[in-house]
Structure 1
Amino acid sequence: MDRRILTISLISLSLAACSNVETRKQAKGDFDYVNIKSSNELQLPAGLEKPAETTLYAIPEVKNQGPVGKKVDIRAPALVLPLASGSRIDEFDKTAAVWFDKVDDDRDLRELLIKAIEDYLGTEDVTFSSADTVNNVWESDWFHIEEESGYLFWSSIDLTESWRFRYSLVTKPHGRSVGLNVELIDYMHTSDKGSTKDIDPIEQQRVEMAMINAITSQLDYQYRLNNRDDRIARANMEIVTLGESDKGEPALIIDYPIDELWRYLPGFFEQYNFKVTDLNEDKYFYEVEYTLIEPSLWDSIWGDKIPVVNFKDGVYRFKLKTKGTQTSLVIQDDDKQILSKELLEENFEVLEPALSFR
């Protein structure tokens, strides 16, 4: 899908559908009550005492005259949708409308969120009108939508709506959580009935929620792009090489942190017919039992042949140790003899792609 189409739909549909009076769902039924006048006070004939009064059932005077009758908007309340990875709503912390937790240790979460806001504005041909990076406050230029009627040269603009927003970020002291607030700071509605800068509070809340959700969607899209780029970069990297451990032992040098490689190895064991019989996460070793299974003729005929690690049947110990930013993998046999460099070279064509975990 064209990214432009996707982002236009987020703001155009969300904001336009939320703000145009014509698209609101309106109440239906008998609205005679809106024309009912208040009753006059009870008038007592002379000589009679006024009965006791109570304010228990008194109807207070409505000072803020909002919509009544058919003008009442009966749509469900707008909600923040935390759909991006690591996004959440914290009902106990009202300093931000939505929170984003760090999911990518290689990238700065605050910068990612700023970029998501800026990229989203860019899809609507809108820029920041001001940026206070010290106080983490940004303001946008105007968003506009127009409704036209007629055809070609006889068309006319029936309605114009415009919005400006303020974006505020709240960063936790540990830096792994960033909150986002969006505030509508300017509004303009123009139609054949005139112009107004006033907006119903419920409508304002809807527009702000729509903007928050659009930015969350943009951040999720950015996460997906980053994941794709990381996979491509990793696929082109030389992740597994032959080398030596810190003790000079023949080893496979793997470009993964030790904890990450530790989590990946069970998948390798399962795929290549190693059965885990013991492990020690503190000392980073797996003990496995291996049975060599030669591929059959039928595997070759049907195209199901899979690579085979050419080790003798027996018990092996896979020992991991940190080597800089990489991890060295030393393999011992059942007699605690370290597998030779020659044996590792012989199996490197199978081990290299298998331990790259692309």
Structure 2
Amino acid sequence: MNKTLALVSGLTVLALTGCASQQDRKAASGSFDYVKAQDNAPVQIPESLDKPEFSDEYALPEVGEQADPDLVGKKLVVQSPALVMPLVTGSHVEEGAKRAMVWFDQVDDSQPLDKAIWNSLLSFLDQQGIGVDTFNPEEGVLITDWMVIGKEEDSSWYDWSESEEQVGRRFEFSMEKKPHGRTAALMVELKDYMATRGDDVTADLNDLQERREEVDILNQVINHYEYQIQLEDSRRIARIRQGLNIEMGFNPDGEPAYVVAAKYDVAWPRTLLVLRKLNFDVKDLDKSTGLLFVTYNGTDDGWWNNLIGSDEELLEEGDYRLQLNELSADKTSITFMNDESEPFDAKQVSELFDAFAQVMSEDNLDI
């Protein structure tokens, strides 16, 4: 009998613990009798007696003007604060910022920073099936349509049924750019909110709850942005390792050059791999101008000679320069020059073409 009673008591405790409502997990435990407490009147000291010295060491600070007086007892949420997580390279948050916002620095020059942020946000909304109510990139404002999700929550321990809560939200995203355009902040504000559970409807949230909603959606957008960057990096590396078609042509100045069938951001790192394979050392480089300073070390085993089937060394050991230029969205020119920045003539470019093109077209070059 005692064992049976102990077993039933244990199961009851487990049921009470496991079915604690979500609200109970957000509120502090214990008694809330303190909310009914009143300030005691100060001690009255007769004038004939010496007044004792009082210390303010444990005095409670005054409540700020912007504090919500209703956040007491069970209404005071004890969850950890919602924090914006700047996971994207070049992103950061401002300490003490009241709004849910994140700053981005431009680290990729392939497109304007504001366009990259908006494209990532639109991609996230599309992936989540969230519509766009209004979007004005000139004014830097995007307002989402209603996003509605359903949540199933356990009811009280003695009622084993489940109640479903429908939560709808609309957010306003806004962007603030620095004058130079290479730094921008993305901010989010909860515009509308409505939660229904049965016949109960909640449309108002306190400041802490609003911030939690805003930070949660902003962190999802940031995570999506970081995922897109990683995905694009993986694709770019794959494209760099793949062989690229190359042909004889001219640079923007009409000088003999090689024309690679790839955009500049792919042709640049691919050229570095090709030069290393051909026994060039890169001494200095500037991607913004497309200029490479290299040293050709020659080959003991006749590497270039084996490629073209000749015993004659086509290029003397020494210092050279290469100039890469973007010809179009999918074509890049490579110009060989001597150490005085004088372009190779058509004959020299033609003689080196077979060796350079063969390595450029190879797949799976080591990075």
* 1:293 corresponds to which of 301, 305, 309: 301
- Is 1:109 equivalent to 2:100 in the alignment? no
Show the 5 A alignment for 1:281-320. Answer: 284-293=292-301, 312=313, 315-320=317-322
2:336 to 311, 330, 337: 330
Q: Deviations for 1:172-219, whole angstroms, at most 9, x for unmatched residues?
A: 222222211101122223346833322132221111111111111222
1:162 aligns with 2:164: no
**TM-score, structure 2 normalization:** 0.64
Q: Identity of aligned pairs, percent?
A: 27
Residue 219 of structure 1 aligns with which residue? 225
- Aligned-residue Cα RMSD (Å) equals 4.9
1:180 equivalent to 2:186? Answer yes
1:240–1:252 CA contact under 8 A, matched in 2: yes
| Further displaced range: 133-142 or 206-215 | 133-142
TM-score by length of 1: 0.65
Distance in 2 between residues matched to 1:246 and 1:332, nearest whole Å? 18
Question: What does residue 210 of structure 2 align with?
Answer: 204
1:134-160 Cα offsets, whole Å, 9 max, x none, are 42222222222333469xxx9764433
**Equivalent runs, 1:1-358 vs 2, <5 Å:** 21-22=22-23, 24-28=25-29, 33-34=34-35, 36-40=37-41, 42=43, 56=56, 59=60, 64-69=68-73, 72-91=76-95, 97-148=101-152, 157-191=163-197, 194-227=200-233, 239-243=245-249, 251-254=257-260, 267-274=273-280, 284-293=292-301, 312=313, 315-321=317-323, 325=327, 326-330=332-336, 340=348, 343-353=351-361
Cα distance in 2 for residues equivalent to 1:271 and 1:101: 35
2: CA distance between counterparts of 1:272 and 1:23?
A: 68
User: Is there any run of 5+ residues in structure 1 with no aligned partner, and where?
Assistant: 1-19, 296-306
Aligned-residue offset at 1:252: 3.4
Amino acid across the alignment from 2:77: D
* Aligned mates of 2:252, 2:124 — CA distance in 1: 49
Question: Which deviates the most, 134-143 or 56-65?
Answer: 56-65
Q: Would you say the 8 A contact 2:250–2:258 is kept in 1? A: yes
Classify 1:147/1:290 alpha carbon distance in 2 versus 1 (closer, same or farther; 3 Å). same
What are the Cα deviations for residues 14-33 of structure 1, in whole angstroms up to 9, with x where unaligned?
xxxxxx94374443456564
Cα offset for 1:170? Answer: 1.0
Instruction: Give the gaps of 5 or more residues in structure 2.
Output: 1-20, 155-159
Q: C-alpha displacement at 1:125, in angstroms? A: 3.0
The residue type paired with residue 128 of structure 2 is E
Offset of 1:97 from its aligned partner?
1.6
Q: 1:290 to 1:59 in 2, by over 3 A?
A: closer
How many residue pairs get matched? 321
Distance 2:108 2:83 in 1: 26
Are 2:240 and 2:269, in contact at CA under 8 Å, matched by a contact in 1? no
Distance 1:267 1:233, change over 3 A: closer
Q: Is the 8 A contact 1:146 1:157 kept in 2?
A: no
Is the deviation greater in 168-177 or in 219-228? 219-228
| Counterpart-to-counterpart distance in 2, 1:44 and 1:61 | 25
Q: Is the 8 A contact 2:146 2:170 kept in 1?
A: yes
CA change 1:181–1:323 in 2 (3 A) is: closer
Cα distance between partner residues in 2 of 1:332 and 1:24: 73
| Residue identity in the other structure for 1:80 | V
Contact 1:168 1:181 in 2 (8 A): yes
- Structure 1 residues 218-227 or 86-95, which shifts more? 86-95
Amino acid at match of 2:321: K
SS in 2 for 1:97: strand
Alpha carbons 1:268, 1:355 under 8 Å: kept: no
